[in-house]
Structure 1
């Protein structure tokens, strides 16, 4: 049984902001990791509305007892604008989900969605090299994943989203990272053969929209990832498993990301997971 550290005068708080915040999993997942590592820090949720965000940030950021701040919807962009420094991914995407408070009070922002996705693939990560990838969803998480994919030696990334501006932003961002004037990322076009398919949209958990790739098009040599799948398989993952494809769900990404967030909250450099 994991021993828990009791709060004392030296305890520090990793504040987690959200609106709403009741659904946030970070405190439940990260506090046992702190306890196992013997780190006297506690993740605590705070229901912070957009109107309260600035004042709450300023008050907590001024306190030495604050180890950092985690943010979820709708604060990822606003938090990035208040950070003193940003990791390359956070700067490119314009959003953060974890902020480390330095000993001097400076706030250092990071975005671990993309790195969490890649690490969460485990052994299947090797399938990214040389792959033609289709990603559906070019919002905040999709942009971070796209940024991470650019460093995984994939062959091409095609993007699909209901918002053309989101696709254009993500494609431009990734092409800038890839460099050499390549059209590495572009709007998806029908008829392509994909090696990797990623759902970074709410399709499958909200609304009645159907995933744009039919189940009959999935094959055993594909890798199919659906970050929307946190409580049971989506239709996409059921079809992928029926086809014999390798799969990854949102829990794979979440577990990898939590280890990265725990490390950052504990004062480690961005990208160093706690306990690994």
Structure 2
């Protein structure tokens, strides 16, 4: 930890990060120096928690007084939201969380910073979102959060791909309600479509052998391609996008943009308050 993090002691608290897989998760590496700089005796630690283990792990950590909270990544963001006592307005609208604050009585309070992180993380390229034709693969917790934020940026359309048709239906319903028009639908694989923005919000590229559902030949130089699965290494999608001359963004861009908010919430501050601000 480079000397930035003080030694653990009996008063230390743990911010557990649940994921499956979890080896690629960068939250502990990024948030621990923020805790240390703010003199917070909190340590973020990754835990490999499968869906079958999730309920038991959640119950165990919510009972421990030295747990400050839980961060969740794929595939737990929707399941965690259902177990929280309260949700921030964005988390409630999306039905997912990525950061949970534990109160002294053991109750858990969920927030979602992925959407904010995504639009801030792409920097000046955020201007491309207004009026954009977007393809997004993955309509789980992170995908829903990004879709919510995309609607706020005034996209023209959103084509969705997910193995779960209910996830697509919910995300489309949410976006269409926010935009007050029929902008979001499931991708029609037979239709000819050209996109301005392509987003991978699924585990494709880090888990399993599934390939991305559009060919490298469909990528072009005036496109923005974001792969939030890419954290500790480059995915094939990003390699193909760079080869096509497209602008790219990975999961670190999104995470860096929201990490101070995650740190603040984990340390007990109101949602949306960065630690050290």
Shorter-chain TM-score bucket reads: 0.7 to 0.9
Structure 2 residue runs without a partner (length 5+): none
**CA spacing shift, 1:73–1:153, aligned 2, 3 Å:** closer
Q: Aligned partners of 1:75 and 1:136: how far apart in 2?
A: 17
**CA spacing shift, 1:51–1:209, aligned 2, 3 Å:** closer
Q: TM-score if structure 1 supplies the norm length?
A: 0.83
Residue 24 of structure 1 deviates from its aligned partner by: 4.2
Q: Aligned to 2:56, which of 52, 55, 74?
A: 52
The residue aligned with 1:241 is: 242
**CA spacing shift, 1:121–1:38, aligned 2, 3 Å:** same
Q: Aligned partners of 1:207 and 1:8: how far apart in 2?
A: 39
More deviation, 247-256/77-86: 77-86
The residue aligned with 1:266 is: 267
Asked whether the 8 Å contact 2:136–2:201 carries over to 1, the reply is: yes
Secondary structure of the corresponding residue to residue 150 of structure 1: helix
The residue aligned with 1:88 is: 89
Q: Aligned partners of 1:111 and 1:266: how far apart in 2?
A: 15
Secondary structure of the corresponding residue to residue 157 of structure 1: strand
More deviation, 82-91/11-20: 11-20
RMSD value, Cα: 2.8
Secondary structure of the corresponding residue to residue 229 of structure 1: coil
Q: TM-score if structure 2 supplies the norm length?
A: 0.83
The residue aligned with 2:69 is: 68
**CA spacing shift, 1:151–1:41, aligned 2, 3 Å:** same
Residue 57 of structure 1 deviates from its aligned partner by: 4.0
The residue aligned with 1:167 is: 168
More deviation, 146-155/248-257: 248-257
More deviation, 234-243/22-31: 22-31
Q: Aligned partners of 1:220 and 1:24: how far apart in 2?
A: 29
Residue 146 of structure 1 deviates from its aligned partner by: 0.9
Asked whether the 8 Å contact 1:50–1:74 carries over to 2, the reply is: no
Asked whether the 8 Å contact 1:2–1:32 carries over to 2, the reply is: no
For 1:96-111, list aligned pairs within 5 A. Answer: 96-102=97-103, 106-111=107-112
Residue 42 of structure 1 deviates from its aligned partner by: 2.0
Aligned pairs, how many? 271
For 1:113-262, list aligned pairs within 5 A. Answer: 113-178=114-179, 180=180, 182-189=181-188, 190-262=191-263
Q: Aligned partners of 1:82 and 1:51: how far apart in 2?
A: 9
